[in-house]
């Protein structure tokens, strides 16, 4: 059994060691080499695309990086899966449609707006996902 002095030394020593490990891991995690956000690639076009994403409440149906609703397909890597031409056609269509039985609103974006959203999707798609090629929503899997 430890004496009070030994217990106090053990506790303080363990606390200091744990604190130093925590600080070291924090510095390592925040270092430039560990950055996975690709924030350096954010352009005005990406920002406009993000604003369109938010103002049209796309997250009300879709998910990006696993966040959002589970009604429609996950769009983190949509450009890799479908290509820019397909995504642009979907964004610019004047007619509502029902892919896989799910209703998609016809936003009828302009060509510039569609390009902004595609730039946003490209930027999202280039974020390092630690080897996961696609984030999948548990309830609404993209069968395409």
- Model-level pTM greater than 0.75? no
The Cα 15–Cα 11 span in angstroms is 6
The residue extents of the domains of the chain are: 4-33, 37-125
Instruction: Name the H helices within the chain.
Output: 4-29, 44-55, 78-82, 84-92, 111-125
pLDDT at 29: 83
pLDDT tier at 87, thresholds 50, 70, 90: very high
**What topology is assigned to 37-125 in CATH?**
Cytochrome Bc1 Complex; Chain D, domain 2 (1.10.760)
Contact yes or no for 106/96 (Cβ under 8 A):
yes
CA separation, residue 16 to residues 7, 11, 12, 22, 140 (Å): 14, 9, 6, 10, 47
Looking at residues 32-59, what average pLDDT do you find?
88
Please state, rounded to an integer, the average pLDDT across all residues of the chain.
86
pLDDT at 142: 46
């Amino acid at each position: 059994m430890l004496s009070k002095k030994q217990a106090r030394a053990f506790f303080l020593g363990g606390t200091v060691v744990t604190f130093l490990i925590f600080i070291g891991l924090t510095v390592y995690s925040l270092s430039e080499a560990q950055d996975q956000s690709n924030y350096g690639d954010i352009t005005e076009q990406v920002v406009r695309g993000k604003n369109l994403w938010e103002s049209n409440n796309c997250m009300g149906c879709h998910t990006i990086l696993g966040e959002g609703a589970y009604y429609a397909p996950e769009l983190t890597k949509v450009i890799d899966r479908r290509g820019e031409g397909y995504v642009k056609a979907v964004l610019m269509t004047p007619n509502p449609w029902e892919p896989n039985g799910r209703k998609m609103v016809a936003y009828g974006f302009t060509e510039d707006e569609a390009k902004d959203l595609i730039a946003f999707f490209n930027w999202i798609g280039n974020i390092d996902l630690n080897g996961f090629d696609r984030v999948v929503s548990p309830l609404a899997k993209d069968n395409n």
